[in-house]
Structure 1
Amino acid sequence: MAKYKSAKESIVSITELMQPSHSNFGGKVHGGYILNLMDQIAFACSSKHSQSYCVTASVNRVDFLNPVEVGDLLTLKASINYTGRTSMVVGVRVEAENIITGKKRHCNSSYFTMVAKDEKGKNLKVPGLIIKDKEAMRRFARSKERKLSAFKRDSKYDAKNFKIKEYSDFLKDENVKLEFK
């Protein structure tokens, strides 16, 4: 296996026609169905990069920007944005296309942290990422920043370190009623 690979070597794209069986009670394509497709393409991309079985460790924020209609062609694109020692961040972009008008809508983007595993379930080292342009460097740096921010946030709100007095004022204008002393 190569020590480093470019993101281009692992890019994956799928397109699927959205059918009535994919719809929710509101007549739009169910968000859970789209999330399932996103997880599948993140798996395919990370497995292609690492040449191993991968599991989803986390999903960073999924905002549904536009609804997906039954009858739309849904295209998902995935590429490796960041590589750690055993993990990869896969950027996933989802677009819907009206097959009659040809109009495309960006529906959401998200970042999946995937971890490579061996046959026994142990973490595997993954190839590093070759950065060839400014956009790839921006994506890598943004992913690293997101990882550091999550660590800081998790540490800040750790149950052992959390101080009620520090957050009482922080929550005073929120839709919450504090009833403990």
Structure 2
Amino acid sequence: GRKISVDSATMMNKGLEFIEACWLFGLQPDDIQVVLHPQSTIHSMVQYVDGSVIAQMGNPDMRTPIAYGLGYPNRIDAGVAPLDFATLSELSFSTPDTHRFPNLYLAIEACRSGQAATTRLNAANEIAVQAFLDNRISFNQIAQINEEILNRFEPTAVSSIQQVLELDKQARLAAIAMVEES
């Protein structure tokens, strides 16, 4: 939908995936390297201690992960053409630019800070993106609001779902106030 399109443009979707990977796989932020891959053929890679790499590759089509989720633990036909290695012209990678994609780096830094920061970032981003979609703020203000919310609050240890909900509420209210001031 519209929100995921904006999150894709700001790279917040990749930032949220970074946070998810840390939580789901028990990784530290320094265990993950984010790279841009414009061909969208390689969807994930794991590098082992011996230097070898295993990559999950396929044609860029959301039907593949959806079919995987629906069929797990079995693989089912997703209706996606097989990847033709003979026609792959190149596989290129680059490091994301911090100035062009500040939301990605805000997410990585929030992940380093802990659950309170990631909760606040997600809440602020939801408010900021909706404000952008409603033509209340500019595209660049999304990252500005997210950064301000992260900087406004001190790191906090999270010990309950009630605390997560309260952190979310505080961040949303602060982000709404920032939107109204702009």
Work out whether the TM-score is over 0.5. Answer: no
Greater Cα radius of gyration, structure 1 or 2: 1
Which structure dedicates a bigger proportion of its chain to strand?
1
State TM-score, norm by structure 2.
0.24
State TM-score, norm by structure 1.
0.24
Which structure dedicates a bigger proportion of its chain to helix?
2
